[in-house]
Amino acid sequence: MRKRTLSLLLSFTLLGLLIYFSDPLKVASTIARVNPLYILAGISIFWLNSFLRTIRWQILLKKLNIRIPLTDTFYILMAGLFISNMTPGKTGDPIRSLLLKRTHSKSFTKSVPSIFIERIADIVAMIMISLFGIFFISSEYTIYLFITILTYSLLVFLLIFILLSKKRTERFFSIVVKLFSFIPKIKNLKKDISEMSQNLHTSFSRYKDKNILFKTILLSLIIWTFEGLVLYVAFLSMNFPVTPEACITITSFSILLSIITFLPGGLGSAEIITVLTFTALFPFLTSSDVTATVLISRFMSFWMSVIVGAFSLGFKMK
């Protein structure tokens, strides 16, 4: 609880510093020019994305022979996203399995693999979008974006390669525990390495079905494309001339990097990365312009998911 509070405090501190150094008065005056019709458009995209996320999770659950009504899948998904966005590095994702067990008596260990695969699909989709989108961005900084994303890609695919083998998974966790054995909680996991490795490898192996993987990654690509379009709509709402491909690419890029910061929902870090990237790639945009746009975009996506998720948790999860 203390760590969660500190991480949230750090996130809001970073967000506050971003607004402060971007000139709060200019940010406020820019936001005041927003066309409300575009806000409605952005929120509509959020609802469409939420529906697609629900469909994707239901497909993954069905592979595990877990069948629940679509509306229940939506409520549990949104409640889980709310808790996940409030925890460092989205470590609260497995709460969905606990909610599923509480509401439908489904085994926690049986449903967890669906969330694990969903997260991998998200990362793979964001990497694909980022690498593809770079070719539509013309700037002297493009090479640095490419190197960053390529490095991230290699690390992710290395992790996937490790998880494909139980032996490699166990060896990997043995090395991690050895490196961080000075931390008491990590050291205590030593005796559980074999069981943890088996569970992770088994979870990963259950989704080797090409049809399921294709549908999951395709839906993930659509979801993150729409997520980038929310940012594009925010720019349109203030009549800033940027391209949709730049918004889609930089949204995925900033989320990927914000995951590394381990802050709740990437709050603070994602906004800073987006502002720095846009002002570097588009010199005609000021930091106050982009900060105002990013705040509006995050309201239409991140904060809407928090609001809907909190309602789902409080209303449906009683």
Q: Among 9-13, 129-133, 149-153, 290-294, where is mean pLDDT lowest?
A: 149-153
Per-residue confidence (pLDDT) for residue 197, from 0 to 100: 64
Residue 114: what pLDDT? 86
State the Cα angle at 230 between 228 and 232, rounded to 5°. 75
Q: Residue 28 domain-assigned?
A: no
| Residue 15 belongs to some domain of the structure | no
Residue with tokens 């990097």: 257
Q: How much of the chain, in percent, has pLDDT values that exceed 90?
A: 41
Domain-located, residue 237: yes
In a domain, residue 240? The reply is yes
- 26-40 average pLDDT score: 93
pLDDT of residue 93: 75
pLDDT of res. 286:
92
Q: Look at residue 101 and tell me if it is in a domain.
A: yes
Question: What are all long-range contacts of 282-286, with beta carbons under 8 Å and residues at least 24 apart?
Answer: 282/242, 282/246, 284/241, 285/240, 285/242, 286/22, 286/26
Cα–Cα distance between 125 and 261 in angstroms, integer? 20
Res 92 pLDDT > 70: no
Per-residue model confidence (pLDDT) at position 176: 65
82 against 265, higher pLDDT: 82
- The count of domains in the chain is 1
Cα-based angle 260, 264, 270 (whole degrees, multiple of 5): 60
Q: What was the pLDDT predicted at 252?
A: 92
- Mean residue pLDDT of the chain comes to 84
pTM of the predicted structure, to 2 decimals: 0.87
Instruction: Report if residue 292 sits inside a domain.
Output: yes
The parent domain of residue 227 ranges over 51-315
Cα distances from 7 to residues 148, 272, 303, 305, 308, in angstroms, run 25, 16, 17, 19, 22
pLDDT of residue 133: 83
CA dihedral 91, 92, 96, 99 (to 10 degrees): 150
Look at residue 130 and tell me if it is in a domain. yes
Residue 269 located in a structural domain: yes
Q: Which residues contact 102 (CB under 8 A, 6 or more apart)?
A: 317
Residue 37 neighbours by CB under 8 Å, 6+ apart: none
The tokens of 66 are what? 């877990």
